[in-house]
């Protein structure tokens, strides 16, 4: 009895924390998404506002909101920019570091990873002031060279301005993951390829990248989830530009409904929709490519 109970004793703190800070909030959000406030009379006095069952009404209202679909499309366009560029840069940097093209490997890895250690709000404020024409040293330098830069916070460029912050901050983390996977490749395999006359590009394309495909899939899923939940960057940049609305992303719409309109029931329904969509897309992608990739690894 004592021997069989030891594993559960070690798991108990993690299970309690999981239940208290993850499972319980999720369950409460689902509960709120199925409720609504019923107002009687003028809504004044005790008992004038009561919480009643709403069924799927909040979900219908969220999905039919005219501002919800544009925010989803905007996040989709944002993801098409962020995910390929960020993972491409991370893979390129990891391959260059693994190939030994730089003699300052530790310094290079730390420099590339450092932006990830900066909180998203701080990074957004930093880049926000670099985007503002009146205070940006980059704009001053370009204008001094006779180049008129575009307004990064204009309606035509704001999507790329937000994407740039995410790429700058996330490339280092993905690079470390891919670099760690590259370091696990047996050196004998690489040396044998060199003896056969393979170049660095051929080794990277035909040996290294296929072997680290599971790590690429993992970083892609993490990046996809982060893209669908983008919030801090546009929310921080919003006071600096009128091109970012309160519903620029779905999570910003959740924030507006919950804390500006005081409609926590609609906000909870939208949150559940985002969570289900994130799970479905991530799980669907893993089902599509994960089995073959991880099967090849085994």
Q: What angle is formed at CA 163 by the lines to CA 77 and CA 140, rounded to 5 degrees?
A: 130
Per-residue pLDDT at 2? 63
Neighbours of 173 (CB within 10 A): 20
Of 64-68, 92-96, 102-106, the one with minimum mean pLDDT is 102-106
Mean pLDDT, residues 265-283 taken together: 93
Mean pLDDT, residues 22-42 taken together: 87
Q: Are 159 and 77 in contact (CB under 8 A)?
A: yes
Distant-in-sequence, close-in-space partners of 19: CB < 8 Å, separation ≥ 6: none
Q: How confident is the model at residue 152 (pLDDT cuts 50, 70, 90)?
A: very high
Per-residue pLDDT at 49? 73
Length of the chain: 298
- Would you list the domain boundaries of the chain? 65-297
Mean pLDDT, residues 106-122 taken together: 88
- For 257-290, b/e burial (b = at least 16 CB within 10 A) is bbeeeebbbbbbbbbbbbeeebeebbeeebeeeb
Neighbours of 180 (CB within 10 A): 13
Q: Are 129 and 153 in contact (CB under 8 A)?
A: no
Per-residue pLDDT at 298? 43
Superfamily of domain 65-297 in CATH is: MetI-like (1.10.3720.10)
Mean pLDDT, residues 40-54 taken together: 72
pLDDT tens for each residue of 198-243? 888 899 999 999 999 989 999 999 999 999 999 999 999 999 989 9
Mean pLDDT, residues 185-205 taken together: 88
């Amino acid at each position: 009895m004592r021997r069989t109970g030891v594993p559960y004793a070690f798991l108990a703190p993690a299970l309690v924390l999981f239940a208290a800070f993850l499972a319980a909030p999720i369950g409460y959000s689902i509960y709120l998404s199925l409720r609504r406030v019923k107002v009687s009379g003028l809504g004044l006095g005790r008992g004038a506002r009561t919480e009643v069952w709403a069924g799927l009404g909040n979900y219908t209202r969220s999905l039919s909101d005219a501002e919800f679909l544009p925010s989803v499309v905007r996040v989709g366009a944002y993801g098409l920019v962020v995910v390929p560029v960020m993972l491409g840069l991370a893979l390129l940097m990891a391959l260059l570091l693994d190939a030994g093209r730089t003699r300052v490997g530790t310094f290079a890895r730390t420099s590339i990873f450092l932006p990830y250690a900066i909180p998203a709000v701080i990074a957004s404020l930093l880049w926000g002031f670099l985007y503002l024409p009146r205070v940006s040293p980059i704009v001053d330098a370009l204008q001094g060279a006779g180049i008129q830069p575009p307004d990064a916070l204009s309606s035509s460029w704001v999507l790329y301005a937000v994407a740039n912050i995410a790429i700058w901050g996330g490339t280092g983390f993905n690079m470390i993951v891919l670099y760690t996977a590259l370091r696990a490749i047996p050196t004998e395999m690489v040396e044998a390829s060199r003896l056969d006359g393979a170049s660095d590009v051929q080794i990277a394309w035909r040996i290294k990248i296929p072997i680290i495909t599971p790590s690429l899939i993992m970083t892609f899923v993490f990046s996809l989830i982060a893209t669908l939940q983008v919030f801090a960057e546009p929310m921080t940049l919003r006071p600096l530009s009128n091109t970012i609305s309160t519903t620029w992303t779905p999570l910003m719409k959740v924030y507006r409904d919950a804390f500006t309109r005081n409609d926590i029931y609609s906000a909870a329904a939208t949150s559940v929709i985002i969570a289900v969509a994130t799970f479905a897309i991530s799980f669907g992608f893993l089902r599509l490519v994960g089995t073959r990739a991880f099967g090849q690894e085994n």
